[in-house]
Chain A
Amino acid sequence: MVTLDAKIPEGPIAEKWDNHKFSVKLVNPANKRRFEVIVVGTGLAGASAAASLAELGYQVKVFTFHDSPRRAHSIAAQGGINAAKNYRNDGDSVYRLFYDTVKGGDYRSREANVHRLAQVSVDIIDQCAAQGVPFAREYGGLLANRSFGGAQVSRTFYARGQTGQQLLLGAYQALAGQIAAGKVTLYNQSDVLDVVVKDGEAKGIVVRDMLTGQVEAHSAHAVVLATGGYGNVYYLSTNAMASNVTAAWRAHRRGALFANPCYSQIHPTCIPASDEFQSKLTLMSESLRNDGRIWVPRDRDELRSPGQIPDEERYYYLEEKYPSFGNLVPRDVASRNSKTVVDEGRGVGPLKNGVYLDFAAAIARDGEQVVRERYGNLFDMYERITGENPYQVPMRIYPAIHYTMGGLWVDYNLMTTIPGLYALGECNFSDHGANRLGASALMQGLADGYFVLPYTIGDYLAPKLGEKPVPTDDPVFQQAIKEVDDRTRQWTSKTGGTHSVEYYHRELGKIVWEYCGMARNETGLEKALSEIPALREEFRKNVKVLGSPDGVNTTLEKVNRVDDFMEFAELKARDALHRNESCGGHFREESQTPEGEALRDDENFAYVGAWEWNGPDTPQTLHKEDLHFENVKLTQRSYK
């Protein structure tokens, strides 16, 4: 029987982390090298953790399916990273960042974790600046900031439109230094396909070498997963193509509870899909909403080009409905309103699947040059993709899946329900509740990797001094290797497949987007729960995987991932069905205010829903971690 103990330290919120750091067990410096730690993933969370653990003296093995650690999905983040530095003297503080994050998460996150996140945010900026991250600066040489995603203070640090790239390069370079020093062994193009558990504790992983197809095991004293989010369950998302849920899902199947899988974030400003061939969606930075006005034609049958439609025939729906926040309402509110107008038949573009984001007013007010200085890169990118010039015609945008707040359940130490198995970054559920604030994912990934895990992992390892990692010829390892090898080989050995992996992934995405996307209801979710298993069965029978398992085979890599998404999608729908309230990114149509805003049900749902695996084709069991709000008072969000 699993019991969820979040291990939240005693004491006032502002002292919990310090108290905890003092009370955790330590591994003395000379003994650290006697411990081996496996880190899976080299995004912000994984690279920062691996480098920091190695600096402390641990022996680290790091795994990534990319050819270089620098290619992790984190590289694509554009906007920025939050930190409570209060360099602008505008009233920011650790407490305010904490408060904003709990509120922004719609009161579904754990207060103690969020406060720690806000506390260490300031150290992250110091660390990154010292590593040479070229943050934007003022003429005086000090760091520049901007306000992001509707925040009332300017606490976002950025490096042009490439903040994720620069932060990741900082962490990657720190990692490279440790690799050169022999403290970290890098296994690139290595697909981690299982977690090995012996006597209830994580002891290692099973890996497929993507160049040779060889399946082998690695053992260690502890295993850290930093494998990113599950946004690609929707097929179309802003995530990198290879982002997937496999490592987390396999851990779940080995006993790690999966928390809040129904939470996913939709980003309001992405380029709408242009056709069936569309492989992914591209995000246009949220900063565009500072100057762009969002509208659709009032007339559903409008045929004129946007420039010919007079102002009074345009529906500036955000400005009309939310006079005080206007186009700057939070992501979820902006997204749902776009969906509403498109569903009403007011969509624009050849497929009527977008809304206008119009810069004509800004260009008339400030001049094209000013707009170019602010958004030139983004406008160029838009034109490259769509072939339209946004200085002349309004951009077309539509919401897309962007980030996933759910993930492996972890305690305050970032340990999952399997002792010795940790989860960091987007792959855990910990800090964003039901909705993440802009520029807070980069902060969390680096907080986990640089400043949390290096302290908390010692607590688990210290008592194990002298224990050797389980040798990989142990029967549990051999059994796990065989299972992975058999699973992988079955795809290429069967004949008579009818459809490609891509086809099934796209079909799955359609179901999940339709019934478990921006708005959800009981009937739709029930439908998803019957359609997903049916699709899964058909997929397993009819998917066509060509080529050999003994060498590079990109389809084979993908089929395992889609297979896991097929199981994960069902859990996601089940979680969404059970959570009969609206909160943050989870909007249940049954639970809304008379004005159509999300309505929480704190009485019944102020908990983390964590699911326990019960075997294939058997519904998971729900466990609840009740959330206690001792510092932030629960209120209904309002942006009117």
Chain B
Amino acid sequence: MSKMLNLKLKIWRQAGPNDAGSFLDVDAKEIPEDASFLEMLDIVNERLIADDIEPVAFGHDCREGICGSCGVMINGQAHGPEKATATCQLHMRKFNDGDKIVVEPWQAASFPILKDLMVDRRAFDRIVEAGGFISVPTGTAPDANEIPIPKEVADTAMDAAACIGCGACVAACPNSAAQLFTSAKLAHLNVLPQGQPERYRRTEAMVETMESFFGSCTNHGECHEACPKEIPLDFIAMMNRDYVKSKIKNRSLASQR
């Protein structure tokens, strides 16, 4: 049997995007410390339903820290206190009996609240659509071993590609900037040989789309601290360099037409 915790929760409730919203106080008794944070919310929800109160809506799916669906502010921290851990992988044994826990949705103008703890992160998809891909129609690819890629380069691409698109970086940033997310996608594609032809076009388009939705970066580094995949800040510097270059490169490419 798990050890049990008694917790005092304050959970944000909001019926819809235009509703004012308010906190719900929950006396969460007998929460097993082996439960994950989301399982704790499941238990709370089952009790709410028993009392004829609509359960709290929150985003989640894989519960393995990979799909990026989950994510809430826990006592003001995106994904809570454990480093490199998404909300679904955080377990209650990281808390103490009697703790007060405030649970809120991501807060960022470009992530409108849909309901309770669920937010709309579609702006991220718009950034990827702006250029976060390598154009290679199905069936046109050369043999996979035709283009050798140094292991270090493949590893860096993988470090960047590990981003799960959860939005914690934006939620943790005082300016609600999306630099870490955008730069991770750019780094993934821009370091690979296959990504070179579209490199500067991609960079310019993605950065500008990002700017149309999100705030600007003032180098706080909170995004990296909150990131469940520990995406390095270096990628932001790489993006900035490429963006400056892209202005010149794209013009000179255009003039060669």
Contacts and interface: CB of A to CB of B under 8 A. Distances in A.
Interface string A55-87: 100000000001111110101100000000101
A555 interface: yes
Contacts of B132: 173, 176
B141 interface: yes
B197 to A, nearest CB: 12
A275 B144 contact: no
Nearest to B150: A141
Interface string B36-58: 10110011001001101111010
Contacts of A127: 136, 138-139, 141
A280 to B, nearest CB: 5
A177 interface: yes
A73 B35 CA distance: 22
A555 B157 contact: no
Contacts of B63: 240-241, 279-280, 282
A181 to B, nearest CB: 9
B139 A137 contact: no
Nearest to A157: B144
Given A67-B120, A130-B142, A130-B194, A546 B128 contact: no
Contacts of A279: 36, 38-39, 42, 63
B144 A67 contact: no
A179 B130 CA distance: 10
Contact of B49 (A85, A166, A544): A544
B254 interface: no
**What DSSP secondary structure best describes chain B's contact surface?**
loop
Contacts of A70: 68, 125, 165
Contacts of B102: none
Contacts of A139: 150-151
Given A277-B35, A277-B42, A384-B89, A129 B122 contact: no
B24 interface: no
Nearest to B140: A130
Nearest to A129: B144
B129 A177 contact: yes
B91 interface: yes
A435 B12 CA distance: 45
B32 A277 contact: yes
Contacts of B79: none
Interface string A227-265: 000000000000011100000000000000000000000
B1 interface: yes
Contacts of B158: 134, 159-160, 166
A252 to B, nearest CB: 24
A559 B191 CA distance: 46
Contacts of A151: none
B91 A385 contact: yes
Contacts of A55: 137-138
Nearest to B53: A546
Contacts of B157: 132, 134
B201 interface: no
A75 B88 CA distance: 15
Interface in A155-179: 159-160, 162, 165-166, 169, 172-174, 176-177, 179
Contact of A136 (B114, B129, B154, B192): B154
Nearest to A547: B54
A501 to B, nearest CB: 9
Contact of A68 (B38, B142, B150, B165): B165
A274 interface: yes
Contacts of B149: 137, 141
Given A177-B133, A551-B115, A67 B128 contact: no
Interface in B68-95: 68-69, 82, 85, 89, 91, 93
A141 B192 CA distance: 12
Given A180-B129, A552-B114, A138 B151 contact: yes
Contact of A71 (B2, B53, B67): B67
A68 B147 CA distance: 31
A278 interface: yes
Interface string A534-547: 00000000001011
Interface residues of B, number: 80
B230 interface: no
B202 to A, nearest CB: 11
A521 interface: no
B121 interface: yes
Nearest to A87: B145
A52 interface: yes
A132 B129 contact: no
B129 A211 contact: no
B161 A131 contact: no
A277 B39 contact: yes
B222 interface: no
B101 interface: no
A180 B130 contact: yes
A356 interface: no
A173 B35 CA distance: 35
A66 B120 CA distance: 11
A162 B67 contact: no
A350 interface: yes
A274 B32 CA distance: 10
Contacts of B36: 279, 385
Contacts of B145: 87, 142-143
B66 interface: yes
Interface in B190-249: 192, 194-195
B162 interface: yes
Contacts of B39: 277-279
Nearest to A49: B138
A615 interface: no
A130 to B, nearest CB: 4
B200 to A, nearest CB: 16
Contacts of B154: 134-137
B24 to A, nearest CB: 14
B64 to A, nearest CB: 6
Contact of A176 (B68, B128, B136): B128
Contacts of A160: 158, 162
A570 B29 CA distance: 38
B69 A554 contact: no
B31 to A, nearest CB: 9
A129 B194 CA distance: 8
Nearest to B93: A387
A143 B146 CA distance: 10
Contact of A67 (B16, B69, B93, B136): B69
Given A76-B62, A130-B136, A159-B161, 4 more contacts: A70-B125, A123-B139, A274-B2, A551-B15
Interface of B: 1-2, 15-16, 32, 34-36, 38-39, 42-43, 46, 49-50, 52-55, 57, 59-69, 82, 85, 89, 91, 93, 114-115, 118, 120-122, 124-125, 128-145, 147-151, 154-155, 157-158, 161-162, 164-165, 188-189, 192, 194-195
Interface of A: 48, 51-52, 55, 66-71, 73, 75-76, 85, 87, 123, 125-132, 134-143, 159-160, 162, 165-166, 169, 172-174, 176-177, 179-180, 186, 188, 211, 240-242, 274-275, 277-280, 282, 350, 381, 384-387, 450-451, 454, 500, 502-503, 544, 546-547, 551-555
26 contacts: A67-B69, A71-B62, A71-B68, A87-B145, A130-B140, A131-B134, A131-B141, A132-B195, A137-B148, A137-B149, A138-B151, A143-B144, A172-B128, A174-B133, A188-B125, A211-B114, A240-B61, A240-B63, A241-B60, A241-B61, A275-B2, A275-B35, A277-B39, A278-B39, A544-B49, A546-B53
